C-alpha cells in the first residue's frame, strides 16, 4: 500500500531546479525595487564654491548631507565669474559663494537664469590698510582700492558713503560705480582691481575694501584689522544658488536643511570669530 505519494515536481530533479529558480526570481523581484529606490534616494551634487571659507564650511556639511541622501562633490574656483558660468552651463548643480546683488548683476549682464534658494553666511566687508591704523588717519588724495565687479564695488562705495567720505547719486543703489560719485571732498583716488588681488595690493595702496573670504585667506579679520567695517545686517548675505529650472527639485530642500544646521552655525562662529556670520 502506498501511504504517501510525493509531489512529482519535488521528486523530479527538473522540478527541483524549477522551484529553486522561481524562489531566486522572487527574491530578486523583491531586492531590485529596493535597490532602485536606494539609487533614486541618493543624489550626487556638484557644488561650486570659491576657495577658502566657503569650501571649508561646505566640508562640514558633507556628512550631514550624506545622511539626507546627498553625495556632494566640491568644486573650488579662484574667481567670482566662473562659478556662475559653470552653473548656467550645467557643469554644476549648485553654487554657494555670492550675494543677491552680485547674482542679479550676473543674470542681467550675462543672461543667466539663476535663482537663490537658501541663505548661508555674511562676510562683512571692511577697508584695510598697512599704512594707517584708523580711518581718520587717511590723508587727502589717498589711493583706495575697491573690487572691480559691480556689486562688490558698489558695496565698497556705499561703505565709504555711509561715513560721509564720499557722496553717491543714489546711496541705495547697490550697483553704484565710481562714475556715480557726486562728491569726493577728500579727493580720494579710487581704483578698481580684481577682488582676489586686493589683499596682495595693500602695500601699494593707502587702503582697500576686501571681501571677507579673501580677507580671511590673507589673515585679515574685519573686527580686528579693519579701519572701516560694514554693518553685517545688510543686503549682502551669501546664497545657495541653482538654475531656475531646478529650484523645485527634490534635492533642494535637503541641501538647504543640511547646510542650515545648528552644528554648522556653531562651527562658523567658533572657527571664524567674527570674520564670518551665519545668516540662519
Q: Residue 5 corresponds to which cell in the numbers above?
A: 505519494
Q: Which of 201, 200, 208, 204 is nearest to 225 (CA)?
A: 208
- How confident is the prediction along the chain (280 residues), in pLDDT tens digits per residue? 434 344 444 445 455 445 455 554 455 444 444 433 344 568 999 999 999 899 999 999 999 999 999 999 999 999 999 999 999 999 999 999 999 989 999 999 999 999 999 999 998 899 999 999 999 999 999 999 999 988 899 999 999 999 999 999 999 899 899 999 999 999 999 999 999 999 999 999 999 999 888 898 899 999 899 999 998 777 889 999 999 999 999 999 999 999 999 999 999 999 988 888 999 9
Q: What angle in degrees, to the nearest 10, is found between the helix axes of 262-272 and 53-67?
A: 160
- Summarised one tens digit per residue, pLDDT across range 201-211 is 999 999 999 98
Q: With residue 114 as reference, give the H or E element that holds it.
A: strand 114-122
Look at the chain and count its residues: 280
Domains and CATH numbers, the chain: 42-123+237-278 (3.40.190.10), 126-229 (3.40.190.10)
112 and 119 Cβ atoms separated by less than 8 Å: no
| pLDDT at site 103 | 95
Classify residue 28 by burial, with Cβ atoms within 10 Å: 0-12, 13-18, 19+: exposed
- Summarised one tens digit per residue, pLDDT across range 213-248 is 889 889 999 989 999 999 877 788 999 999 999 999
User: Would you list the DSSP string of 263-278?
Assistant: HHHHHHHHHHTTSSEE
Q: What is the pTM of this model?
A: 0.70
Q: Nearest 5 degrees, angle CA 277-CA 128-CA 173? A: 65
Amino acid at each position: 500500500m502506498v501511504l504517501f505519494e510525493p509531489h512529482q515536481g519535488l521528486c523530479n530533479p527538473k522540478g527541483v531546479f524549477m522551484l529553486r529558480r522561481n524562489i531566486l526570481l522572487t527574491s530578486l523581484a523583491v531586492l531590485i525595487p529596493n535597490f532602485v529606490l536606494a539609487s533614486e534616494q541618493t543624489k550626487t551634487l556638484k557644488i561650486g564654491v570659491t576657495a577658502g571659507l566657503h569650501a571649508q564650511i561646505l566640508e562640514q556639511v558633507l556628512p550631514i548631507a550624506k545622511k539626507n541622501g546627498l553625495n556632494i562633490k566640491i568644486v573650488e574656483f579662484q574667481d567670482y565669474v566662473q562659478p556662475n558660468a559653470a552653473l548656467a552651463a550645467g557643469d554644476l548643480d549648485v553654487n554657494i559663494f555670492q550675494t543677491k546683488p552680485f547674482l542679479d548683476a550676473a543674470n542681467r549682464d550675462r543672461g543667466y537664469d539663476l535663482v537663490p534658494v537658501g541663505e548661508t553666511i555674511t562676510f562683512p566687508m571692511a577697508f584695510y590698510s598697512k599704512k594707517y591704523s584708523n580711518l581718520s588717519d587717511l590723508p587727502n588724495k589717498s589711493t583706495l582700492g575697491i573690487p572691480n565687479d559691480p556689486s562688490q564695488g558698489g558695496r565698497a562705495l556705499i561703505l565709504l558713503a555711509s561715513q560721509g567720505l564720499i557722496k553717491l547719486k543714489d546711496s541705495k543703489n547697490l550697483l553704484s560705480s565710481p562714475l556715480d560719485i557726486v562728491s569726493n571732498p577728500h579727493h580720494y583716488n579710487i581704483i578698481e582691481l580684481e577682488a582676489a588681488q586686493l589683499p596682495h595690493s595693500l602695500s601699494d595702496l593707502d587702503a582697500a575694501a576686501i571681501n571677507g573670504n579673501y580677507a580671511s585667506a590673507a589673515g585679515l579679520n574685519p573686527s580686528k584689522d579693519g579701519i572701516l567695517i560694514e554693518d553685517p545686517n545688510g543686503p549682502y548675505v551669501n546664497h545657495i544658488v541653482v538654475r531656475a529650472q531646478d529650484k523645485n527639485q527634490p534635492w533642494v530642500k535637503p541641501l538647504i536643511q543640511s547646510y542650515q544646521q545648528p552644528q554648522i552655525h556653531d562651527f562658523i562662529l567658533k572657527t571664524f570669530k567674527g570674520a564670518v556670520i551665519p545668516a540662519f
